[in-house]
Structure formats: structure tokens, C-alpha cells
Amino acid sequence: AIRIFTQVLKANPNHANAWKALGIAYGGRGEYDKAEAPLQKACHLAPTLEDACYLWGRALYSQNRFEEAIRAFELTLALSTPKWRTELATAQALEALGRHREAEETFRRVLRENRNRDEHPGIAFATFLFRQGHAEEAVVPLEAVLAKHPKSTAAHLELGRVLYQLNRLPGAIAHLETAAALDPHSAQTRLLLGNAYRKAGRPGDAQRQFDWLSSASRTVR
């Protein structure tokens, strides 16, 4: 795909969609440094092209260039609908810069605008609260997400993690078991569930999770 898009751009260097597609192809390989320039070109050629400026900002974010990412997201905010996704990315960049008060205000604005129509803002805000040491406060947005999205693997996992940290083990185990049922191949879920079982005095159940992790590790090697 990269070879084809490069050939297209040699023939038509102002083809914004091809620049965007080239950036996405590099991003799909995790080569965000190579994705940056094509996405920037697409954004500058066609600022209204869907996701062009947003993806440029994400490429910058993935390189820990948070100030530049915020500037790219600001371009997107003037154009994108819905805006919550770009504002969510901005909140995460602000958090990474240590601008926690601005980040929290932005997270809360995204939640108000989105009203849990999508699961990601509530989960991201809860994760932010958890990282700020406010585990108890993180429970509320996660429960609100699950009220709207009861099969959200990420929300069950994150709520399980928060409740585990709060030593509310029955609830933690229930949500982690649900997350494991929804995504049986998640090593992260299995590890946390194993630790929760062990902490709850269920060594046999814990060992089954650790055995699964050991087996999965050997398979990957």
C-alpha cells in the first residue's frame, strides 16, 4: 500500500487523500515518525478532509510531542463533527504535559457533550482520575458508561482495576470476569484477575489465570 500511494503522489503531489492514506499506512505499522509528514501535508492541502488534521495530531501525540499535537487538534476543532473525539485527544495531551486542571476541565466538557453516546470519553476520564489518585471518583463515570454500554470490555476492565485498587474485591472480580469473558485473549485482564483471586484467598482460581498467561507466553515465543 505504501508503494502504491507513493507512486500516486509522484504523479499527483497535491492529492490530499493519497497523502492521508500514506500516513495511515505508516501509522498502521506503528511508524508514527514517518506518518507525521504525509498527514501534515494532507491537513495543509485539505483542512476539511475528514480526520486529516486529527490524525496528524495523533501522530504527533504518539511521538510525545504534545504541544504540537494540541495545535493540530485546534485546527480540527474548528472543522470536525462531532468535536468530542478531538477534545478528548486534547485532554489526553494536556494530561501528558502535566496541565491537569485544564485536562480535567476538558474531559468534563467532553463528557457533557457526548453524554456517554460513545464509551471512550467516560473510560478515558476515569483513567485520568485513577492516575491522579482519585480511585473512588473514577467509579462513577465507569458505572455510567456500563449503564449505556454493558458489553464494553474496556469499561469492565478499568472498573475492575479501580475496584481492585480500592480493595473492593467481589466487585473487582465480577467486572474482571466479565472482561475476560468478553475478551478471553487479554493478558492484561488475566493478570489482574489472577491477582484479584489471589488477594481474595482463591489460590486455585488465581493459578488457572497464571497458567493461562504462561501458556500464552510460550505460544508467542
pLDDT in tens, 109-157: 999 989 889 999 999 999 999 999 999 999 999 999 999 999 999 999 9
Which parts of the chain register pLDDT below 50?
none
8 A C-beta contact, residue 209 and residue 179? no
Query: pTM of the prediction?
Result: 0.88
Q: Which three cell numbers stand for residue 196?
A: 484479584
Q: Which three cell numbers stand for residue 218?
A: 510460550
Helices and strands of the chain, counted as H and E runs: 13, 0
Closest CA to 85 of 59, 62, 117: 117
Cα–Cα dist 165/125, whole Å: 17
Give residue for cell 493478558.
Answer: 187
